[in-house]
Amino acid sequence: MTTETGELARLRAGLAARADDAGLLDIAYRVVDSPLGALLLAATERGVLRVAFASEGHDAVLADLADRVSPRVLSAPRRLDEAARELDEYFAGHLREITVPIDLRLLTGYRREVVTALPRIAYGDTASYAELAALTGRPRAVRAVGSACANNPVPLLLPCHRVVRSDGGAGGYLGGLDAKRTLLRLEGTEAGRTVGP
């Protein structure tokens, strides 16, 4: 690393801190390593706004957030410290429930209701799309539940990986089927052991 690169890194870190103090840091983000590959974590002052897998293209996700929420976006790890720590512990098998505040402003209406209901499926359990539809009080909205899960802005934090097909198949997952199986296996779920390719 050249001195100039080091100096710019230091200046950028200082800028992120000052922007946060000045209320100008609308979206802070950082990228963390995980057993599922690099994860992008982005948060507003209210909470975590987005968790994105590498396959989604982190730059594309940030551009989308700039467009939909605010272009005041900076790499600012501090705001994501707690989320990163909880995810680490979760992946290590030490934490069963993630509790960091979440900002669901990207969702409205029924999709929001669906992802809000996800934590009712306990660690180590699964529910079918139909069961989740019933949990939200709309037992026939199975298809809408499927698309709400597929568009969950905060996977892992809100456990859409615990929603599986009623025939025992894993169903889709934004992070890929392997990621979903890894998570179910981590949680010691029956489906994680039995789901085929």
Q: Residue 72 Cβ, how far from other proteins at the closest point, in Å?
A: 6
Q: What are phi and psi of 37, to 5 degrees?
A: 95, -175
- CB nearer to other proteins: give 74 or 130: 74
Number of residues located near other proteins, criterion CB under 8 A:
24
Q: Do residues 125 and 162 lie in contact, with contact meaning Cβ atoms separated by under 8 Å?
A: yes
Q: Do residues 43 and 103 lie in contact, with contact meaning Cβ atoms separated by under 8 Å?
A: yes
> Phi-psi bin for 8: left (phi > 0), alpha (psi -120 to 50), beta?
alpha
- CB nearer to other proteins: give 24 or 92: 24
Give the torsion through C-alpha atoms of 52, 57, 58, 59, to 10 deg. Answer: -150
63 binds other proteins (CB under 8 A): yes
Q: Segment contacting other proteins (CB under 8 A): 14-22, 100-108, 117-125, 138-146? A: 14-22
Which of 27, 48, 98, 160 binds other proteins (CB under 8 A)? It is 27
149 is catalytic: no
- CB nearer to other proteins: give 42 or 160: 42
65 binds other proteins (CB under 8 A): yes
> Which residues between 69 and 108 bind other proteins (CB under 8 A)?
70-75
Per-residue CA distances from 81 to 8, 16, 47, 61, 78 (Å): 22, 14, 12, 20, 5
